[in-house]
Amino acid sequence: MSIIDAIKARSSNGIMTDTAVSLAHIKQLLDAAVCTPVHHNAKPWRFLVIQGAGRQTLSDIMVQHLDKRISDPKEPRNIALRQKLSQKAFRSPVIIAVAAAKPDGEKILMIENVASAVAACQNILLAAPELGLSAFWRTGSFMYAPDTVSALGFEGGAELVGLIYLGYPKREMRPKPRETSDPYVRWLE
């Protein structure tokens, strides 16, 4: 498949089996992830591979973030919300938390480190199908809380850019119709 076809064929397939993903496959994806353009050779990509029982830690972080924001955890709506949220980390056997490191030196801007880490996320999404895997990108307000960044063991000042859920698809997805770029493009010539 051509790269353009692979890009067009990519889509988020959220229904995955709980079959563990091999270490070799995870490493292949991570090695592909770091093949991004990067300014000042900043090497800003940071990854935490969360799998198996480690998913409970992520689930707890999500629920604790919610708990700080709800006034009555016993309200039925909040009980349901908590329950739903507590299951999210278990949607796939592996979750790769991707962060951008804080710039080291004045020449490097955080936005550029974030840009490179975001490209790393897309590399994973595009590479996964070649290994028979599906992957999808999630965030959530909890991800942007400094508490979450440190609870997941990232260095100070790092910013999470994505949780990439990874696993074997239960079923194939039909290709999504993709739009053209026309409405989003202006030309200066």
Ligand X SMILES: Cc1cc2nc3c(=O)[nH]c(=O)nc-3n(C[C@H](O)[C@H](O)[C@H](O)COP(=O)(O)O)c2cc1C
**Residue 107 phi, psi (nearest 5):** -70, -25
**Single-letter residue type at 182:** D
Position 142 contacts ligand X (CB under 6 A): no
Hey, CA dihedral for 117, 135, 96, 3, is it positive or negative? negative
Position 87 contacts ligand X (CB under 6 A): no
Nearer to ligand X, 37 or 177 (CB): 177
Position 139 contacts ligand X (CB under 6 A): yes
As measured in angstroms, the least distance from the Cβ of 121 to ligand X is 8
Part in contact with ligand X (CB under 6 A); list of ranges 61-69, 85-93, 135-143, 148-156: 135-143
Part in contact with ligand X (CB under 6 A); list of ranges 108-116, 126-134, 138-146, 148-156: 138-146
- Cα–Cα separations (whole angstroms), residue 3 to 18, 115, 131: 29, 21, 15
Q: CA angle at residue 83 from 160 to 140, to 5 degrees?
A: 20
Residues sharing a CB contact under 8 Å with residue 152, sequence separation 6 or more, in sequence order: 48, 57, 58, 61, 97, 160
Part in contact with ligand X (CB under 6 A); list of ranges 38-46, 98-106, 127-135, 136-144: 136-144
Nearer to ligand X, 136 or 154 (CB): 136
Nearer to ligand X, 12 or 56 (CB): 12
- Rg of the chain over CA atoms, in angstroms? 18
Residues that bind ligand X (CB under 6 A): 11-12, 136-140, 162, 176
